[in-house]
Amino acid sequence: MEIVHTIKELKTKLQVQREKGKTIGLVPTMGALHAGHASLVKRSVNENDVTVVSVFVNPTQFNDKKDLEKYPRTLEADCELLERIGANIVFAPSVSEVYPEPDTRVFSYPPTDEVMEGRFRPGHFNGVCQIVSKLFMIVEPNKAYFGEKDFQQIAVIKAMVADQKYPLEICPCPIVRETDGLALSSRNTLLSEAERKIALNISKTLFESLEYAKTHTLTETKYWVINTINAIEGLEVQYYEIVDGKSLSSLNDWRDSDYIVGCITVFCGSIPVRLIDNIKYKESK
């Protein structure tokens, strides 16, 4: 496995591979890798000749400076994991390498990028599109892999790919959970042991809501989830929306779509840590 820090070096290496007819898989990450990322990388390794994993904490997608500062950075451990699971190239550039000057491009895909995370983290998806589009242009992958924990992010990236006509396939990969249900997230490392136990109630409530939904309306289910989680000390729901899995528009009735997903963001603990999760009530893609 090679670790590359500059765009020029990465492009040169990938051009050699492309000329040999090799396919390229890209897994964009911000590091602090866990088993969720590993599942994306393993899938890319299975499906492509060359797998590139980018490790870059992208400043333009953080609308909160403190959040950016406290984001975990563990490049050495990340590289050890990536080597073990068969990644070929780690691309770990500096901020000035990626943004030699400020990126002023504006990506806008309403309503997909305006609801939920878009509403509470203004500019976040613009930053995600800036970095992901740069990575797509640098790496020119055949396939790119993203985790479904960031369900809305995948919808926004798909909109950008269609808009910019990038010739690649977006491969969504299922959420990976701890055996007790907690969705894996780099932010989990910021939780104390006690907070982690409290955070478990998020996935537990979402799973229980699948049963509740069978005998209740969509609106009743939505508020049941919000009220159940808010009743737990140390948790505060920022939003819970039950949406159409493609358009991400909010739904009022279970009959209004055949692809229904509940997306939640919860603040956990005193600092607090912002955790996201989602659950599929109906699935048809």
Write out the residues near ligand PAF by the rule CB under 6 A. 28-30, 58, 61, 128, 131-132, 150, 153
Q: Which is nearer to ligand PAF, 157 or 251 (CB)?
A: 157
Cα(285)–Cα(282) distance, rounded to whole angstroms? 10
Rounded least distance, CB 50 to ligand PAF, Å: 19
Cα(185)–Cα(188) distance, rounded to whole angstroms? 5
* Contacts for 251-256: CB closer than 8 Å, 24+ residues apart: 251/218, 252/218, 252/219, 253/217, 253/218, 254/213, 254/217, 254/218, 254/281, 254/282
Rounded least distance, CB 55 to ligand PAF, Å: 9
Q: In what order do the strands lie in the sheet with 260-268?
A: 235-244, 260-268, 273-282
Cα(137)–Cα(35) distance, rounded to whole angstroms? 27
Q: Answer for the pair 260, 245: CB distance below 8 angstroms, yes or no.
A: yes
Rounded least distance, CB 157 to ligand PAF, Å: 7
Please report the beta strands in the chain, taking only residues with DSSP state E, as ranges in sequence order: 2-4, 24-29, 50-55, 89-91, 143-147, 169-173, 235-244, 260-268, 273-282
Rounded least distance, CB 86 to ligand PAF, Å: 20
Write phi, then psi, for 240 (nearest 5 degrees).
-135, 120
Q: Which of 4, 20, 25 is nearest to 173 (CA)?
A: 25
Whether residue 5 lies in the annotated active site: no
Rounded least distance, CB 233 to ligand PAF, Å: 30
Give the list of residues 6+ apart from residue 252 with CB closer than 8 angstroms, or none.
218, 219
Catalytic residue among 5, 34, 37, 216: 37
Q: Which residues are catalytic?
A: 37
